[in-house]
């Protein structure tokens, strides 16, 4: 059977696959810092050259920012688009790294072999799992079991300013039956997950203004309205005692979890105490009538991310401030319109203002949630393939975070995305000493080989 031979080739070639990943990890592809622009471009060229060696028609495409890499296979079968990003986060603070972040090495962490380097997990180690799976298929059979297009971005860690224009300009070339994205992680050790729900985001900054200048609290306290008092009251009203968000219309149109997904999530055995314990907490604080996984994956949230005003320096200054400020973010789920919620939130704030106070708002972003259509047969194929590779059965799961590219693929290219990654919670992505378990890299390659085989029908 060709799949067995491909899997055997992956096992035999693991050292060579790891060496190729190490070579990529030595490139300092930090997209947010212009000082590394040449390194970002070098990473794009490296990937395109490697894909050509496998037999892809690969090219580096310029944008107004960092380049994209697009590669096409010449094989028959269902058409899939694989997405990854080759840019990485800055390494600061450098003094907290145990080694040079761009001098990758195999180390042991808690008795487990890990690949230590910036980008090892986010996202170069992950994207190379797919490249190595393609390499093994080509080496064993001379072809891929599906028609594969590869799309690598170089700006994901710096806000993806060129992504939407590039997708719109190249939609016909990139459109496929389904997208594959490897920028997520395992649900837990030995349990893979396919993310089918991604939350959207709404971000607002508020400034409450009262008096025209800062005032002496002895002369004006009590008689003059304090903007911090006003803002504190508004923020306190954001949730009721059961953790329910009080903005009017906030929950309108939100669908309930299907019984199939509810059963899968209950079967995962999520331990909320084990989840909260490492950060010094023990009790869920959200909607009282929802399970912890529902609150993380399929329910919207409202959180105060920052609040300031008055004097906060050393010593004491008895000031009644002119202004108070807060930043608030909302994680959104399917059925919620971020622009409508922005209007509702601002109206809700305005309605609580006392005389002599005004509110100004700064919008910092608004993106809808993404929900994948798991009735597409590729989703069951991927779940079966992952279940055959890992010790525990794969599940369709949600994500508390946001991966905008999946929404763009749905909106611009009209296709759903299978988000299957092999990172772990302790990979320290975006932090010093980032790592990727060698077993995640190995089984990730085998997983994509299985998925490609399953997609061939």
Domain with CATH 3.40.630.10 in the chain: 2-198+369-455
Q: Average pLDDT, stretch 269-284? A: 93
pLDDT at residue 36, rounded to an integer: 98
Burial 305-319 (b: 16+ CB within 10 A, else e): eeeebbeeeeeeeeb
Q: Has residue 206 got a pLDDT over 90?
A: yes
For 132, the 3-state DSSP assignment is: helix
Q: Residue 6: helix, strand or coil by DSSP?
A: helix
Chain segment 37-60, per-residue pLDDT in tens: 999 999 999 999 999 999 999 999
pLDDT of residue 400: 85
Give the model's pLDDT for residue 208.
98
Three-class DSSP category at 81: strand
Write phi, then psi, for 15 (nearest 5 degrees). -60, -45
State the pLDDT at residue 174: 98
| pLDDT reported for residue 232 | 98
The DSSP result for 86-97, as a single string, is --B----SGGG-
Mean of all residue pLDDT scores within the chain: 96
Across 2-11, 74-83, 141-150, 392-401, least confident range? 392-401
Cα gap 144→73, rounded to integer Å: 8
Q: Per residue in 330-372, pLDDT tens?
A: 999 999 999 999 999 999 999 999 999 999 999 998 888 989 9
Q: Is 278 helix (H, G, I), strand (E, B) or coil?
A: helix
Residue 245 has pLDDT above 80, yes or no: yes
Interior angle at CA 17, CA 85 and CA 6, nearest 5: 105
Its CATH class, for the domain covering 200-254+300-367, is: alpha beta
Q: How confident is the model at residue 84 (pLDDT cuts 50, 70, 90)?
A: very high
Return the beta strands (E) in 240-357 as ranges.
301-309, 319-320, 323-332
Fold of 2-198+369-455: Aminopeptidase (3.40.630)
pLDDT tens for residues 137-189?
999 999 999 999 999 999 999 989 999 999 999 999 999 999 999 999 999 99
- Tens of pLDDT, residues 429-449: 999 999 999 999 999 999 999
Q: What is the average pLDDT across 396-425?
A: 93
Query: By the 8 A CB rule, do 30 and 90 touch?
Result: yes
**CATH 3.30.70.360 domain range(s) in the chain:** 200-254+300-367
Does residue 281 register a pLDDT over 80?
A: yes
């Amino acid at each position: 059977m060709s799949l067995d031979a491909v899997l055997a080739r992956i096992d035999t070639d693991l050292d060579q696959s790891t060496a190729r990943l190490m070579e990529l990890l030595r490139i300092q592809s930090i997209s947010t810092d212009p000082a590394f622009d040449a390194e970002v471009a070098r990473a794009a060229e490296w990937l395109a050259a490697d894909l050509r060696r496998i037999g892809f028609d690969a090219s580096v495409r310029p944008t107004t920012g960092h380049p994209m890499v697009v590669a096409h296979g010449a094989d028959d079968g269902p058409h899939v688009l694989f997405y990854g990003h080759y840019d990485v986060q800055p390494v600061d603070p450098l003094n907290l790294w145990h080694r040079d972040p761009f001098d990758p090495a195999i180390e042991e962490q808690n008795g487990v072999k890990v690949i230590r380097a910036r980008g090892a997990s986010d996202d170069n180690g992950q994207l190379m799992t797919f490249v190595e799976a393609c390499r093994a298929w080509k080496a064993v059979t001379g072809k891929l079991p599906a028609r594969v297009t590869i799309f690598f971005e170089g700006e994901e860690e710096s806000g993806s300013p060129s992504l939407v224009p590039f997708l719109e300009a190249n939609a016909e070339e990139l459109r496929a039956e389904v997208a594959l994205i490897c920028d997520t992680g395992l649900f837990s050790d030995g349990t893979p997950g396919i993310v089918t729900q991604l939350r959207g985001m709404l971000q607002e900054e508020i400034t409450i203004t009262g008096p025209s200048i800062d005032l002496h609290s002895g002369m004006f306290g009590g008689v003059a309205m304090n903007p911090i008092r006003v803002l504190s009251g508004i923020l306190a009203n954001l949730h009721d005692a059961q953790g329910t968000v009080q903005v009017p219309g906030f929950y309108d149109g939100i669908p309930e979890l299907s019984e199939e997904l509810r059963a899968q999530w209950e079967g995962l055995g999520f331990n909320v105490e084990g989840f909260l314990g490492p950060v010094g907490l023990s009790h869920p604080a959200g909607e009282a009538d929802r399970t912890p996984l529902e609150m993380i994956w399929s329910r919207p949230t409202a959180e105060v991310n920052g609040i300031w005003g008055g004097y906060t320096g050393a010593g004491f200054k008895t000031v009644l401030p002119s202004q108070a400020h807060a930043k608030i973010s909302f994680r959104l789920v399917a059925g919620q319109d971020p622009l409508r919620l922005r209007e509702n939130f601002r109206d809700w704030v305005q309605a609580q203002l006392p005389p002599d106070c005004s509110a100004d708002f700064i919008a910092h972003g608004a993106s809808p949630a993404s929900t994948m259509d798991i009735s597409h047969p590729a989703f069951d194929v991927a779940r079966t393939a992952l279940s055959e590779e890992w010790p525990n059965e794969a599940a369709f799961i949600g994500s508390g975070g946001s991966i905008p590219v999946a929404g763009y693929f749905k909106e611009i290219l009209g296709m759903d995305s299978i988000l299957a990654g092999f990172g772990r919670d302790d990979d320290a992505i975006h932090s010093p000493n980032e790592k990727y378990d060698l077993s995640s890299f190995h089984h990730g390659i085998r997983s994509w080989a299985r998925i490609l085989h399953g997609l061939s029908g």
